[in-house]
Amino acid sequence: MKVNIKSIIIIFLVALLGSGLGTFGVMSMYNRDNKGNTGSSVVVNEVQYTNLEKSDYTKAIEKAYNTVVEIKCTVKSNISSGFFFFEQGSTTSVSSGSGVIISSDGYIVTNEHVIDGLVDESTLEVKAYNGQTYSAKVIGYDAKTDLALLKIDGQDLPYASFVDSGQLMLGQDVIAIGNPLGLGISCSNGIISALEKEIAINNVYMTVIQTNAAVNAGNSGGGLFDINGNLIGIVNAKKASNYTNTSVEGMGYAIPANTVTRIIEELMNNGYVKDRATLGVKAAANSFYYTGDGVLVTEVIEGSSAEKAGIQANDIITALDGQPVSTYADLVKLLESETVGDTVDISILRDGKAMTFKITLQDASR
Across the strands, what pairs with 100? 68, 109
Considering all CA atoms of the chain, what is the largest pairwise distance in Å, rounded to the nearest integer? 141
DSSP string across 215-256: --TT-TT-EEEETTS-EEEEEEEEEE-TTT--EEEEEEEEEE
Is 220 catalytic? The answer is yes
For residue 361, pLDDT over 80 is answered with yes
DSSP string across 40-85: ----------S--SPPHHHHHHHHHGGGEEEEEEEEE-----SEE-
Closest C-alpha among 142, 140, 149 to residue 278: 142
**Which tens digit of pLDDT belongs to each residue from 302-358?**
888 899 999 999 999 999 999 999 887 788 878 877 888 889 999 999 998 999 999
Cα-trace Rg, the chain? 34
Lowest mean pLDDT among 22-36, 44-58, 124-138, 183-197: 22-36
Residue 180, Cβ density class (10 Å: 0-12 exposed, 13-18 middle, ≥19 buried): buried
The number of helices, as runs of H, and strands, as runs of E, in the chain is: 6, 22
Lowest mean pLDDT among 63-67, 89-93, 233-237: 89-93
Q: Please, what is the end-to-end C-alpha distance for the chain in angstroms?
A: 122
| H helix runs in the chain, sequence order | 5-33, 56-64, 112-115, 257-270, 305-309, 328-336
Model pLDDT, residue 86: 45
283 vs 141: which has the higher pLDDT: 141
C-beta of residue 238 within 8 angstroms of C-beta of residue 215: yes
Average pLDDT over residues 52-74: 88
- CA separation for the pair 334, 338 (Å, rounded): 7
**Which tens digit of pLDDT belongs to each residue from 230-264?**
999 999 887 765 555 566 677 889 999 999 999 99
- CA separation for the pair 161, 177 (Å, rounded): 14
C-beta of residue 325 within 8 angstroms of C-beta of residue 318: yes
Q: What are phi and psi of 193, to 5 degrees?
A: -90, -30
Closest C-alpha among 205, 231, 226, 228 to residue 337: 205
Lowest mean pLDDT among 75-84, 90-99, 219-228: 75-84
**Can you identify the CATH homologous superfamily of domain 65-151?**
Trypsin-like serine proteases (2.40.10.10)
Across the strands, what pairs with 39? none
Q: What's the pLDDT band for 82 if we cut at 50, 70, 90?
A: very low
- CA separation for the pair 154, 172 (Å, rounded): 34
Task: Select which of 98, 186, 220, 347 is catalytic.
Answer: 220
Choices 2.40.10.10, 3.65.10.10, 3.90.700.10, 2.40.70.10: CATH for 165-262: 2.40.10.10
For residue 154, pLDDT over 60 is answered with yes
- CATH class (in words) of the domain with range 277-363: mainly beta
280 C-beta neighbours (distance < 10 Å), count: 22
CATH 2.40.10.10 in the chain, residues? 65-151, 165-262
Residue 222, Cβ density class (10 Å: 0-12 exposed, 13-18 middle, ≥19 buried): buried
For residue 285, pLDDT over 70 is answered with no
Is 330 catalytic? The answer is no
- CA separation for the pair 339, 341 (Å, rounded): 6
Is 120 catalytic? The answer is no
C-beta of residue 51 within 8 angstroms of C-beta of residue 106: no
Model pLDDT, residue 76: 78
CATH 2.30.42.10 in the chain, residues? 277-363
Task: Select which of 116, 146, 226, 315 is catalytic.
Answer: 146
Model pLDDT, residue 203: 61
